[in-house]
């Protein structure tokens, strides 16, 4: 097989890249290790920044998004029984949209296939070869056979545990990593959310997040131990704890729990995000705490930059965009990491914190809630910085 761009991974990054390239007449093949059914049902959080929502609509993948996505004008901070509103629309003229990542993936797959794009499901990439040459090759298994895909460029969009990043030789990458001494215990509840906006709650017992999937489905999270035993958390205890951490700021409805799980938290950035003709995008290059809601948005930003660079190369023979890819992406990635860390340390309880730290956190929340300048900075970062 032969194509211009071999894309490893059919997540949001890989699918979006293939669509952006196809729009410009550049061929690509997407290789995905899992089945289509698995990929379309893989549970991930889904919050779209304003520009990412606009991009999906622009490329033709926004019909269901506009019909079913939940538009939010901002968020609310809960502290000491009070709700503080951060109005993005008023502060920076932007919104965010709740729309499950698996729904985004369904829409992108359907659109790509309808436009003649090529996705090979259950095609597990096994090796990347010739990354330092003009003709790299991706080896993979498909239909019980060993096959290969020759290409001009490889886009590694296969996540943190994929083969793309490990294909870069030892000593090339610098890995920046931070672990967190807590995780999130999350439930999906068949109950109306407590507010029409997301609530980020600060409490002596730990952080809580009150989100939603729809007007009748709530997605609720509690700060917990990273290795928390779910057996210790029957449904009633979960709701009791959520109610306690909401602090009486507003009523909390209860309902049947449909899902329950623990999400560990970490920050990872690798530099550079490229080697030879391999370009990393999305989770293969960076992981951030979910507090800042940046995962899918950063993945889209990476492939927008990469598609621009590949188009410039194909049309005009320019290499400046390809050479600057890592530097351009990392500028945005580190700003997103900074914001995710800011939100995480603002709202979570750390095991080694002191009474001083708790008072400082309250002062931080009061400052954000009471200062137009501080609230504007939060709104600007949360709703999405402009693309370079």
Active site residues: 72, 200, 290, 294, 382
**Residue keyed to tokens 């330092």:** 132
Distances (CA, A) of 177 to 172, 243, 272: 16, 33, 14
CB 310 within 8 A of CB 153: yes
Instruction: For residue 254, give both structure tokens.
Output: 């209860």
For residue 269, give the nearest of 340, 173, 183, 342 by alpha carbon: 173
115 Cβ contact partners less than 8 Å away, ≥ 6 residues apart: 19, 22
φ, ψ for residue 6 (rounded to 5)? Answer: -90, 125
- Neighbouring C-beta atoms of residue 262, cutoff 10 Å: 18
CB 247 within 8 A of CB 216: no
Dihedral (Cα; 127, 128, 130, 135), 10-degree rounding: 120
Q: With 0-12 CB in 10 A as exposed, 13-18 as middle and 19+ as buried, what is 179?
A: exposed
Sheet holding 96-98, edge to edge: 47-48, 96-98, 70-72
């Amino acid at each position: 097989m032969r194509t211009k761009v071999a894309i490893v991974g059919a997540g949001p990054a890989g699918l979006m890249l293939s669509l952006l390239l196809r729009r410009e007449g550049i061929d690509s093949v997407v290789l995905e290790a899992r089945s289509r059914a698995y990929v379309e049902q893989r549970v991930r959080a889904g919050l779209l920044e304003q520009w990412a929502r606009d991009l999906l609509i622009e490329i033709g993948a926004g019909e269901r998004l506009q019909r079913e996505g939940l538009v939010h004008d901002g968020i609310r901070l809960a502290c000491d029984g009070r709700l503080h509103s951060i109005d993005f629309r008023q502060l920076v003229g932007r919104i965010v949209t709740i729309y499950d990542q698996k729904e985004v993936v369904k829409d992108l797959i359907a659109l790509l296939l309808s436009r003649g794009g090529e996705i090979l499901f259950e095609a597990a990439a096994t090796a990347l070869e010739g990354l330092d040459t003009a003709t790299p090759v991706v080896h993979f298994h498909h239909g019980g056979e060993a096959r290969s895909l020759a290409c001009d460029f490889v886009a590694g969009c296969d996540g943190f545990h994929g083969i793309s990043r490990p294909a870069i030789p030892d000593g090339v990458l610098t890995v920046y990593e931070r672990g967190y001494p807590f995780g999130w215990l999350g439930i999906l509840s068949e109950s109306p959310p407590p507010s029409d906006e997301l609530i980020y709650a600060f409490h002596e017992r730990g952080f809580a997040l009150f989100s939603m999937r729809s007007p009748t489905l709530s997605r609720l999270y509690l700060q917990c131990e990273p290795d928390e035993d779910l057996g210790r958390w029957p449904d009633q205890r979960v709701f009791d704890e959520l109610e306690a951490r909401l602090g009486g700021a507003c009523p909390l409805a209860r309902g049947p729990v449909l899902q329950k799980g623990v999400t560990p938290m970490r920050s990872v950035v690798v530099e550079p995000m490229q080697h030879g003709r391999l370009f990393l995008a999305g989770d293969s290059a960076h992981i951030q705490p979910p507090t800042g809601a940046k995962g899918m948005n950063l993945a889209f930003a990476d492939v927008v930059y990469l598609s621009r660079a590949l188009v410039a190369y194909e049309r005009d023979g320019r290499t400046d965009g390809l050479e600057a890819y890592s530097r351009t992406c990392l500028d945005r990635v580190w700003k997103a990491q900074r914001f995710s860390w800011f939100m995480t340390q603002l709202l979570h309880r750390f095991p080694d914190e002191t009474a001083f730290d708790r008072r400082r956190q309250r002062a931080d929340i009061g400052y954000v809630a009471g200062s137009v300048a501080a609230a504007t900075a939060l709104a600007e970062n949360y709703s999405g910085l402009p693309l370079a």
